[in-house]
Amino acid sequence: MKRGLFESIRRSQQGFTLTELLVGIALTSLLIGGVATAIPQMNSAVKRGNNHTYVATQLQNAAHWLQVDSKMAQEVTPDEGETGFPLVLRWVDWDNSEHEVTYYLSGNEFFRSYSVDGGTAQVKSLAQSVSSGTCSYQNGTLTVSLTSEEGYGKEKASQVRTISVKPRTQ
């Protein structure tokens, strides 16, 4: 009885024809080709997204410190050159301590130098990948514009951040 069962199972298994195998291989090749093409494009999109997030974060950090210090400033002195940097902000606090903050570009970095009562300056890099920047002080409004770029080719991300602040100048 067991022998008859195995023989009937073996007879029902006929396998695939050559045509069915070729069609299956062709469909599998198309599927693999589509996936292989999509992977580099997705990778490029992810890198571009990462670069965009990076430049946005860098400029957001710089804008934060510029706004905080500018709102405190009693004296605003941009450089008379083309870019307006270095930008110097000064104010006297409630306890008569004199604060001085200098913002400047060096290479592709944007820096903040902060000192109190003429003491040792604390220098902090606020943003990297800064390709250009300008500042101006007109009609009681300080306007600072920074451009940051990261990546190359299709993966390049660029962003411009402009802030306008009215300092508490005298």
What are 43's two structure tokens? 């990778």
Residue 121's pLDDT is what?
95
Question: What pairs with residue 109 in β-bridges?
Answer: 106
What are 78's two structure tokens? 């941009």
Map out the domains of the chain as residue ranges. 38-165
Q: Which helix (H) or strand (E) holds 162?
A: strand 157-165
Residue 75's pLDDT is what?
94
Q: What is the pLDDT of residues 121-168, one digit of tens each?
A: 999 999 999 999 999 999 999 999 999 999 888 888 999 999 999 998
Q: Is the pTM of this model over 0.85?
A: no
Cα dist from 160 to 45, 125, 149, 154, whole Å: 20, 18, 9, 18
How confident is the model over 15-38, as a mean pLDDT?
A: 86
Kindly list the strands in the beta sheet with 109-116, ordered across the sheet, starting from the edge strand earlier in the chain: 75-78, 87-92, 98-106, 109-116, 122-127
Per cent of the chain over pLDDT 70 is: 91
